Chains A and B, each alone.
Chain A
Amino acid sequence: MNRALGYLGQALCYTLFFLPLVYLSHEPTYRVLDDDTALLKLAVRHPGKIIGECTTTTESGQGMRPTSMAQVTEVCPRERSALQLQLILDGKTLYRDTVPASGLHSDGIASVYMQFEVPAGSHNLQLRMNDDEAIEGYPWQFEQDIELQPAQVMVANFKQGFRLQ
């Protein structure tokens, strides 16, 4: 093959290689969220109440130790309650779940993250949580009318009570 023709062919090959590559590095655009939709994020990080009561024991040492060294110890259970969470939007339950405490012995913080695509506009938002297995119902309750702009991100989290950001 003619040398010049060869270089021309190579230029064509490089073009055919790089053109799609450059195009595909930013096009076509991808639609992540519909217009007129907002994002509602629920992020709760909260330790549930400890299950059970602390008990006090008096240890006499069963004769192994002198009685003067008898000790009073408080023994507390470590296991924590799971969280029962509910998110209700305009009267419809969007989320309802039990979030277990973390850790091998269920003694850690319970953590959950959920997100919901919600049509922009006004809504009624209700949040409920029970963090104590000893109690029935939802000791933590929250209700608010909200106004969501398109593409707005609204975060509902919990710090001694639900709050919106």
Chain B
Amino acid sequence: MKSPLKMGMNRLDSLFSKVFTPAWNPMYQLGGLSFFYFWIVAITGVYLFIFFETSITGAHASMEYISVQQWYLGGIMRSFHRYASAAMGVCVTLHLLREFAMDRYSGVRWFSWVSGIPLLWLLFASAIGGYWLVWDIQAQYIATTTAQLFDWLPIMVDPMASNFLNEAALSDRFFSLLVFLHIGIPLALLLGMFIHIKRITGARTNPTKGLAAGTLLAMLVVSLWQPALSQAPANLDVAVTTVGLDWIFLNPYTLISSWGPGQTWAILVGLSTVLTILPWLPSKRAKQSPVAVVDPDNCNGCGWCLADCPYEAVTMKEHDFKKGHQQSVVDPNLCISCGICAGACPSSSPFRHVDELTTGISIPGFHIKELLSLTESKLAELKPDEPRILVYGCDHGSVVDSMSSPSVATVSMPCTALVPPAFIDYVLRKNLAEGVMISGCCEGDCHYRLGNEWMNQRFDKERMPVLRTRVPREKVRLRWLGEQGTAQLAHEVSTFQADLSDEIASQPRESVHE
């Protein structure tokens, strides 16, 4: 089930990257988009609340006033409130499916995954509460059906349904409770959202500007064209026969109506339980390798690893033996073994005059000295008749191993941001290869969240450690094409080789045979 889902997601990713550009690709910002929609709902909600009347007789009429008399502002606010909620529902669902399909829910990510599940309940409860307040026939259907659901539970002493027997039984008090819940539950949702991203460094809680502007514009058009309206006012003396439903949030209600409250509880609680234990269920995915280890002897306390760790796993503390200095520490419960910290550490330089390359921080599964020996040995094996290319790839992006040839050496690792820029300098200076190609996940969609972004910044000299200026940039290429871009990467490697051949051919003869 996972791999067709992943294939589908990859297709959508590629399509959207073409249409929106990778920076605006909505598939890469489903969480951020969900935050954005939440804020729209919150702001428009405050406006609606000013005009909303908390009473049985006033509720429906006040919503009519907002939509009809005040269509130009209140009406648009109401439409934004409704459509942003629906969009949030869709984005959150896609976000969940995507994290699942891309295998980003287990290991240390369990926290984000598990903390996401209550958000689903809170989101649905918020939306249902909103529809209830309008007190039209959909709200009447919600009221009587919710009562059915809760009355099934043995905890209910007085049946909730007795509040909605008929018009005579209804009280304004219940409306005050509803308003209280429709403010309280979204606030709990917001709190939950912040807990959800607590363990993530620099979580993208805002979509990029272009995407935000696009979705706002689209919602404005939709709000003018199809404003959100109420249905006929509720009347508890007349049973609801047919009702227009919001199928995004109210689909569980059709379950209650057709299968009964017991089965509905079983499905909802069962589904939530399965989702909750999912990160620990056996699966074919590879086990996480051992977490990063700090070597205090080689740590100078610069804090670059702390700045680059995508999961807030690194902190600084007093140095073990250098008084007045700092050193990094890794929290093994947070570390995901991506190795990005090793690429950030200034001690990871192959130019250092040591017998065996050591560094301040590295993952045992792919130590920096292993990166060096693999790089050197694979390049030494090449028998080229074309310019030699070294391709660094990541285990989650374009599959680089298939590109090995007598003139192309490939090294794959957990994340290409594990490669310190000094390695590229080293390979080119020592004349081990004519060109270096860095590949990985799609731009904006690193499996470890920030790897390709940090690499771009290191190479653009915006982030430490930078690629030194003496490195000829025409000999280095970064291509973030992802797994689905494997064929294109192979093509890019050939083009790179051809370009380097041309360049060598155009150079004066002497400099070719130094």
* Number of B interface residues in the complex (CB < 8 A): 47
CB <8 Å contact, A32 and B82: no
The 6 A-B residue pairs with the shortest CB-CB distance, nearest first, are A14-B218, A113-B159, A9-B19, A26-B244, A24-B247, A39-B239
Which chain B residues border A112 with CB–CB below 8 Å? 159
CB <8 Å contact, B246 and A26: yes
Which chain A residues border B87 with CB–CB below 8 Å? 17-18, 21
What are 14 pairs between A and B in contact, CB < 8 Å?
A10-B20, A13-B16, A13-B19, A21-B87, A22-B226, A25-B82, A26-B244, A26-B246, A31-B241, A32-B141, A35-B241, A113-B159, A151-B240, A152-B239
CB <8 Å contact, A25 and B83: yes
Known: A1-B19, A108-B157. 4 other contacts (CB 8 A): A6-B20, A26-B245, A43-B161, A113-B161
For residue B388, give the distance in angstroms from its CB to the closest CB of chain A: 34
A11 vs B236: C-alpha distance when bound (angstroms): 43
A47 vs B184: C-alpha distance when bound (angstroms): 35
Using a CB–CB distance below 8 Å, which chain B residues touch chain A?
Answer: 16, 18-21, 24, 26, 82-83, 86-87, 90, 141, 151, 157-159, 161-162, 165-166, 168-169, 214-215, 217-219, 222, 226, 228, 231, 236-248, 254, 257
Q: How many A residues touch the partner, as a band?
A: 35 or more
Which chain B residues border A17 with CB–CB below 8 Å? 87, 90, 218
CB <8 Å contact, B158 and A45: yes
Which chain B residues border A22 with CB–CB below 8 Å? 83, 222, 226
Which chain A residues border B217 with CB–CB below 8 Å? 14
A35 vs B162: C-alpha distance when bound (angstroms): 24
Using a CB–CB distance below 8 Å, which chain A residues touch chain B?
Answer: 1, 6, 9-11, 13-15, 17-18, 21-22, 24-35, 37-39, 41, 43, 45, 102, 108-109, 111-113, 115, 150-153, 155, 157, 165
A21 vs B86: C-alpha distance when bound (angstroms): 7
Among B168, B245, B257, max chain A CB count under 10 A is at B245
CB <8 Å contact, A153 and B239: yes
CB <8 Å contact, A18 and B83: yes
A30 vs B239: C-alpha distance when bound (angstroms): 14
**Of the candidates B151, B231, B240, which one forms a contact with A113 in the assembled complex, judged by CB atoms under 8 Å apart?**
B151
**Of the candidates B21, B162, B215, B244, which one forms a contact with A27 in the assembled complex, judged by CB atoms under 8 Å apart?**
B244
**Of the candidates B151, B168, B241, B248, which one forms a contact with A165 in the assembled complex, judged by CB atoms under 8 Å apart?**
B168
A43 vs B151: C-alpha distance when bound (angstroms): 13
A32 vs B257: C-alpha distance when bound (angstroms): 7
**Of the candidates B165, B219, B240, B257, which one forms a contact with A18 in the assembled complex, judged by CB atoms under 8 Å apart?**
B219
For residue B497, give the distance in angstroms from its CB to the closest CB of chain A: 27
Which chain A residues border B215 with CB–CB below 8 Å? 14
